[in-house]
Amino acid sequence: MSALRSGDTVWRTARADRAAFLIDTEAYFTAVFDAFHKARRSILLLGWGFDPRTRLFPDGYDGPDDPDEVGRILVDLACARPDLDVRLLIWKSALPISATQEFFPHKARKFFKDTPVKFVLDDHVPFGACHHQKVLVIDDRLAFCGGGDIAVDRWDTAGHRDDDPRRIMPKQECHAPRHEVMMMVDGPAAAALGDLARERWRRATGETVAPPPDAGGDPWPDHVPPHLREVEVGIARTEPDWKSYPLVNEIQKLTLAGIAEATDTIYLENQYFTSPLVCEALAARLAEPNGPEVVMISTGVAPSWFDRLTMDRTRGTMIWRLRAADVFGRFKAFYPRTQGGEVIIVHSKVSVFDDRLARVGSANLNNRSGGFDTECELAVECHDEAHRLTISAFRDRLVGHFMGVTGDAVAKARAEFGGLCPAIDALNREGRLAPIEPPMMTGVGEFIAAYHIGDPVDTADSWRLARRRERLMREARQVADDRSLTPPGER
């Protein structure tokens, strides 16, 4: 049975003639630059954040008129090509969050004023929620989806070098090393993401935008080889139950389905891990004598004080739960460091189940990504041998690049030592993947973790802590009970 079920675990499936995984923002920004210049009719961007000063090829600072600043590129293209419709729909973030980004994207309204670029801040979400989808669609022929926003503190290479001067921001400060992953697709899958983006534009602005007229051309970046060809792509969403719109929790359903159906390896990269439902589903698999390995990679310590106060403490209780369930020694939780020991911010949202199902999107493994914020992700489920080798190579490359080794080295170690966990143990000689240790908990920390402060499940409990706690405990028990009642031969 396929994990990608339209109307259940995914919104819809659509064919992609080509698909590629873009590991880290250098790869994403370079592909975006090429795609922008190949656009003929439409550029449509959805994002959590956006800064027009973002340089797509940062190599130092050349002044306020750097030609690779994304805002300048978009304005120049829109002015030079009257038939090119450029629209940016970015979350209207709360002021405390915007303050951490120098009040962008709010300031971007002034940047695009009196230009052909249509820039809108999206506040069409429940109070306390955010518009978190990260989607870029070019001419309905090419689309990107994943965890990355176009902002000044995002760029990094897969090498995550110490003190890389190219991680420079407009005020000459360098930001921390950062890991992101995006997925790029073309064909009907790209057109489907165009439908999703236009519907989001309609909800936020009331304006209905027609699909762009077909002007031919191929916006696929010439320098990016496709990793997959002729593959079905699932598009999964999260949308809150708000006003006249019902709850959509396809991403959460697909996560639980992937965990339930995995046989060998569950690989998770994520910024957060605070969902009791996901935790209990993983714990149930770890308790099985012949269940899959579970490897999780996240940030050691969250960069913001609020996330350290809320997400890190709750993640600590999840890690303890999985360690207690790991009676057969198949669970590892790591955070990556540079060669010099600096913590790498893991902002990616990736999951790979065996060598069959790979997902790249915007959703975190927390409560709010399952029913409170808006999210979008792409999933590919592969059954033929060539495609499965590609999925395996994608996961191995991700794991390897954190340790400074190739994906081939990871694949060889997996074969030699009998799994991903022992392969990491063998290759992690410099300790660049360090174990995540739960923080010490005070009474305040225990209260935050127990009631999931800052991490509502949906609009029904966004301001009702007791309801949230009771509901999460009930649903987590249900996940565990459902798993225990499934006969081993049917898993």
Residues 43, 194: Cα–Cα separation, whole Å: 10
Write the DSSP assignment of 426-478 as a string of letters. HH-TT--EEEP-PPP--HHHHHHHHHTTT--SSGGGTT-HHHHHHHHHHHHHH
Joined together, the tokens standing for residue 29 give 């920004």
pLDDT of 469 reads 87
**pLDDT band of 94, cuts 50, 70, 90:** confident
Fold of 237-490: Endonuclease; Chain A (3.30.870)
| Residue in the block written with tokens 């922008």 | 36
pLDDT > 50? residue 487: no
Residues 467, 476: Cα–Cα separation, whole Å: 14
pLDDT, one tens digit per residue, over 21-65 is 999 999 999 999 999 999 999 999 999 999 999 999 987 545 556
Residues 297, 348: Cα–Cα separation, whole Å: 10
Query: Which of left, alpha, beta for 275 (phi over 0: left; psi -120 to 50: alpha)?
Result: beta
15-230 and 237-490, same CATH topology = yes
| Residue in the block written with tokens 């191995």 | 396
pLDDT, one tens digit per residue, over 428-450 is 999 999 999 998 888 888 898 98
pLDDT average, residue stretch 274-298: 97
CB 314, CB 449: distance < 8 Å: yes
pLDDT > 70? residue 118: yes
pLDDT average, residue stretch 128-136: 97
pLDDT of 66 reads 66
Is the model more confident about 211 or about 1? 211
- Domain 15-230 = CATH 2.60.40.420: no
What value does the mean pLDDT of the chain take? 94
Map out the domains of the chain as residue ranges.
15-230, 237-490
pLDDT > 90? residue 1: no
CB 88, CB 119: distance < 8 Å: yes
pLDDT > 60? residue 325: yes
Classified as helix, coil or strand, 284 is: helix
- Nearest-CA neighbor of 236 among 358, 91, 150? 358
Residues 326, 177: Cα–Cα separation, whole Å: 31
pLDDT > 90? residue 277: yes
- Nearest-CA neighbor of 234 among 250, 249, 220? 250
pTM of the model: 0.95
- Nearest-CA neighbor of 294 among 257, 320, 269? 269
The H or E element spanning position 350 is strand 350-353
**Torsion sign over Cα 211, 249, 375, 359:** negative
